[in-house]
Amino acid sequence: MKKAILETIRICKDRNVLKEYLESREKEVVDIMMVLYDKEEAMRTYVESERHDAQNDWRIEMALDMLRDGEPIEKIIRYCKLSKEKVLELQNS
């Protein structure tokens, strides 16, 4: 994305319509476009984090249910895809 933004600026600079404007305000335009890029990356990271948290919430709830049902820790690790340390932590809480 960042590379595409810089390439777009380069192409626009070669066109007479935008060349003068971009030359006089190139740093400002680049800064604006980089802020937009950074915001998009931040949003993508946030969405991934939320998705990951939701998956972990589901796995933890399932592990807790299995612990209450007396299932073996090895089975819980296998089905819930949690670490042994996490399952033991849940068991002791």
Per-residue pLDDT of the chain (93 residues; tens, 9 = 90+): 778 777 777 776 666 666 676 677 778 877 888 888 788 887 877 777 767 665 678 888 899 999 999 999 999 999 898 889 989 999 998
For residue 46, CA distances in Å to 38, 51, 56, 67, 69 come to 12, 9, 15, 31, 35
Report whether 13 contacts 22 (CB < 8 A): yes
Distance of alpha carbon 17 from alpha carbon 35, whole angstroms: 24
Distance of alpha carbon 66 from alpha carbon 81, whole angstroms: 13
Q: Where are the domains of the chain?
A: 2-92
Distance of alpha carbon 62 from alpha carbon 93, whole angstroms: 15
